[in-house]
């Protein structure tokens, strides 16, 4: 590791932080430190970082906005890569939209609407980055990334830059090939359609109003914790099991939306994990359905 650190300082890979608390980089505001956090400022720095990690065989993981992730209280050993400023962009070419990995997915949907392009309305309440949305095949309101995805430039763990088309991504419900094959999205291209600006704005306003009324937006959370089982909703099952408001330490099942777990102030990752385990066992005992977490749990346990 010392040889890696010495080379890292000379490699020009962007900002490098040591023992950096990851609670500063997740929407749950939970997580211990990363041994090393690298913030590449652009494609070339990202490629250089991954190649250096490959050369020294240092373990690493990728982090977007941390909106669908639970980092353990002990943190992450090795390196965390978080695409940074140089990958925070969007541009439109007719009905085609190209966005950098670190660009806000919510902002992306807003900008598309202003361009009079439809297809991204569902993204207006997904608090992640474009890269994270591609990784998770993020979705809401009956649509998801796979419906509009065209291609993505990805840095594989070998440091090779490749372009994956839609068929290469193996999209399914909240899943892509990037959950099987390690890589970092650099930018993604989406195919949208011409639409009416007023209708797009109205649809997004409706979604926003529904979120405001039903989701605990005022408290740190990671969005939906569990995947919806076939032909049902996790929130309904959790609510029917009488689990709204249940706490473990500083973590609580939201009173507004039963599929959200909120950080009431000082929640630890272990509090959230204990609450997830309690929800799963209770719902399974009551309904015979084992809920599958949608949240990625990472770090040293």
**Catalytic residue (choose from 115, 224, 248, 254):** 224
Q: 286 catalytic, yes or no? A: no
Q: 174 catalytic, yes or no? A: yes
In SS3 terms, the chain reads as: CHHHHHHHHHCCCCEEEEEEEHHHHCCCCCCCEEEEEEECCCHHHHHHHHHHHHHHCCCEEECCCCCCEEECCCCEEEEEECCCHHHCCEEEECCEEEEECCCEHHHHHHHHHHCCEECCHHHHHCCCEHHHHHHHCCEECCEEHHHCEEEEEEEECCCCEEEEEHHHHCCECCECHHHCCCEEEEEEEEECEECCHHHHHHHHHHHHHHHHHHCCCCCCCCCCCECCCCCCCHHHHHHHCCCCCCEECCEEECCCCCCCEEECCCCCHHHHHHHHHHHHHHHHHHHCCCCCECCEEECCC
Q: 121 catalytic, yes or no? A: no
**Catalytic residue (choose from 20, 67, 115, 174):** 174
Active site residues: 174, 224, 294
């Amino acid at each position: 590791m010392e040889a890696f650190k010495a080379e890292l300082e000379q490699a020009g890979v962007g900002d490098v932080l040591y023992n950096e608390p990851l609670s500063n980089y997740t929407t749950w505001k939970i997580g211990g430190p990363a041994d090393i956090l690298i913030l590449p400022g652009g494609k070339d720095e990202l490629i250089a970082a991954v190649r250096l990690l490959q050369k020294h065989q240092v373990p690493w993981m990728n982090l977007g906005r941390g909106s669908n992730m639970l980092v353990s209280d002990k943190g992450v050993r090795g390196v965390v890569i978080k695409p940074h400023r140089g990958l925070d962009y969007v541009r439109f070419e007719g009905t085609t939209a190209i966005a950098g990995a670190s660009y806000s997915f919510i902002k992306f949907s807003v900008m598309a609407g202003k361009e009079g392009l439809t297809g991204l309305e569902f993204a207006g309440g997904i608090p992640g980055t474009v890269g994270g949305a591609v990784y998770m095949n993020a979705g809401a309101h009956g649509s998801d990334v796979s419906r509009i995805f065209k291609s993505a430039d990805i840095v594989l763990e070998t440091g090779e830059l490749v372009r994956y088309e839609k068929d290469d991504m193996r999209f399914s419900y909240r899943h892509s090939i990037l959950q099987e094959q390690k890589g970092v999205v650099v930018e993604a291209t989406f195919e949208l359609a011409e639409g009416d600006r007023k209708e797009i704005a109205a649809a997004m306003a409706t979604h926003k109003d529904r979120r405001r009324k039903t989701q605990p937006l005022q408290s740190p959370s990671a969005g939906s914790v569990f995947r919806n089982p076939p032909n049902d909703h996790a929130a309904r099952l959790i609510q029917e099991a009488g689990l709204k408001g249940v706490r473990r330490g500083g973590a609580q099942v939201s009173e507004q939306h039963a599929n959200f777990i909120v950080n009431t102030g000082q929640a630890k990752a272990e509090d959230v994990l204990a609450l997830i385990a309690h929800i799963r066992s209770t719902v399974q005992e009551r309904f015979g359905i084992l809920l599958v977490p949608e949240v990625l749990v990472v770090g040293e346990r």
